[in-house]
A and B are shown apart, each in its own frame.
Chain A
Amino acid sequence: MRGKKALSVDEKMETVKIKIDKQAHITVKADLCKACTDRPCLYICTAENYQWDEKKDALIFNYEGCLECGACRIICSKDAIDWSYPIGGYGVKYRFG
């Protein structure tokens, strides 16, 4: 795709069908993130759901756009991310896979 601009992750996420649950399946212990130095969740998430807010000095995350790979849960060295699959029937719905 030379010459053409590559899609951003947000644009790519528009192709994924997700049924959003009201209850979040990800919770983060904010105080642990402040002490964290390398913050691997910021670059490991394939949907870029984790962002660092410099102004508030806090981790902001968005559970709605989760692809359910669960890499954040494995990678978090502080055990600050509590990740589980969304409840039955909710979450990502791949049309192809």
Chain B
Amino acid sequence: MDKVTCIVVGAGPSGTACAYALAQKGIETVLLERGRTPGEKNVSSFVLYTSVLKHLIPDFRQDLPVERNVVRMDTIYMGDNDTKALQSYNYRYVDNPIAFTAFRRRYDAWFAQKAIKAGVQLISGMKVTDLIIDAGRVVGVKVGEEELYADVVVGADGYHSIVGEKSGLIHAWSPDRCLLAVKEVLNLPSQVINERFQLTDGIGCEQGINTYNLNELNYFSATLYTNTDSVSLAVFARLDELQRKKIKLHEQLEVLKRHPYIDNLIKDATLREYEAHLLPDGGRVKPKNLYGNGVLLCGEAGGITDTIAGMGIPNCMLSGMMAAKTIEDAISKKDFSKRTMKNYLKYLDTTKLIAMVHESRRASDQFAGKALENESDHMAAAADIYNQYWESSVEYIEKKNYPLWAELFLRLGQYHVPGLLFWPVAVLIKIAGLPAVWVEMVKRKTRSRYYAWKKSLVG
């Protein structure tokens, strides 16, 4: 009978972070991964923020498998026929990078190698099929016929968490607590990317795309970011909404690709890889179900992702580190029951993760519900007003045959009319000795009446 102190199931960011932190403290840890190498099952659709990684591996910059250093983060509001963009370029990040684009296949494998160096025992190609439960306490895992025992099992095995389900911490799934994501990695020469996105070698950008009027979905967002010689384009939608409206998300990706804005950026690109992933949408598990007797859930298994802010990997890594702290406590007390495991919540609270996840959940519901319909209407209305002004000013320049009196009036007279109308009245008020306030009042009245009239005249 093999027994170790800790088994971590899943060598993604949260599992590896947990195992790494445990191994640093000299705790015997086995990391199980169902892929042949870590990272080959994983998909991410945002840039990788290094805010948490730098606490675990301070010198990560030496050999991190980076595609581009992200310096520009844009927000795009996209309608069916128009685009408004906020370009946010932070030059500070050129020398002090905070975010990178990277491929998960390389990033996760790199991270796992770091963990192995720290003393973690990685066993890949092993899918945990069941848990061994003794008197209400998780005491190990089953991999097919084989059994492996441990004091504590950490479930970091993603959305369809076997650890969570078999231990009874997760007992239901509901479509309203997850997002479906479809992503394409598109080949595009490095030089072309630099030209189209206005970048230089090694410098990348990420564009968060909010859409309105593009399709029937309330919650539909997209990200576009640059790798060295490819771009990644991902779309997201809530599963409950796709179900309710019977929409194929991968068809919506094609709709987005046909939009002139996206089309200009990814023209002539060829498909390198097609990917899909399901991610928990802010707090799918209640906080009291994040821990049990001899078991902890972290990362996507515990739903610790902030899909609104796009903070997946750092949040998951942080939850893994907090799980490691909890296990340290448990080892020092020699108690692996629920009572000690409850410290996990305390640690999560110190990082504000739970509050963050809660906020993300609230925002997501708002997006998917009525509130976003209003928001979407609002954005569309704002775009309409903008477009109207733009178009009317164009018309004014290009136009057109007004009658002579209107032409003279528009070119010369229009700004003086309120004054001309007003001054005799002001003189009369002065002569009659009426209060000075009246002068101001009449002035305003004349102006507003005049502008209303003019508006109706010009249309």
Contact = CB atoms under 8 A, between A and B. Distances in A.
Interface of A: 1-2, 6-7, 9, 12-13, 15-16, 38, 40, 43-44, 46-48, 67-71, 73-75, 83-89, 91-97
B105 interface: yes
A69 B274 contact: no
Interface stretch (B147-155, B243-251, B393-401, B442-450): B243-251
A97 B103 contact: yes
Contacts of B249: 44, 46
A7 B178 CA distance: 27
Contact of B105 (A43, A44, A69, A96): A96
Given A70-B160, A74-B278, A88-B127, A96 B246 contact: no
A1 B160 contact: no
A43 B244 CA distance: 11
A38 B39 CA distance: 35
A67 B277 CA distance: 8
B243 A1 contact: no
Q: Which of A2, A6, A38, A88 has the most CB of B within 10 A?
A: A88
A43 B159 contact: no
B127 A97 contact: no
Given A9-B250, A69-B277, A96 B266 contact: no
Interface of B: 34-36, 39-44, 103-105, 108, 124-127, 143-144, 159-160, 162, 173-175, 178, 180, 182, 184-185, 230, 239, 242-243, 246-250, 254, 257-258, 263, 266-267, 269, 271-278
A86 B250 CA distance: 23
A1 B277 contact: no
Contacts of A96: 103-105, 185, 230, 272-273, 275
A80 to B, nearest CB: 15
17 contacts: A1-B257, A12-B184, A15-B273, A15-B274, A43-B247, A44-B243, A46-B182, A69-B276, A71-B239, A71-B276, A73-B173, A74-B178, A89-B34, A91-B41, A94-B39, A96-B272, A97-B42
A12 B274 contact: yes
> What secondary structure prevails in chain B residues at the interface with A?
mixed
A38 B43 contact: no
Contacts of A9: 250
Q: Which of B44, B144, B175 has the most CB of A within 10 A?
A: B175
In the A-B complex, the 8 residue pairs with the smallest Cβ-Cβ separation, listed nearest first, are: A97-B104, A89-B125, A46-B276, A88-B127, A12-B274, A67-B276, A69-B276, A96-B103
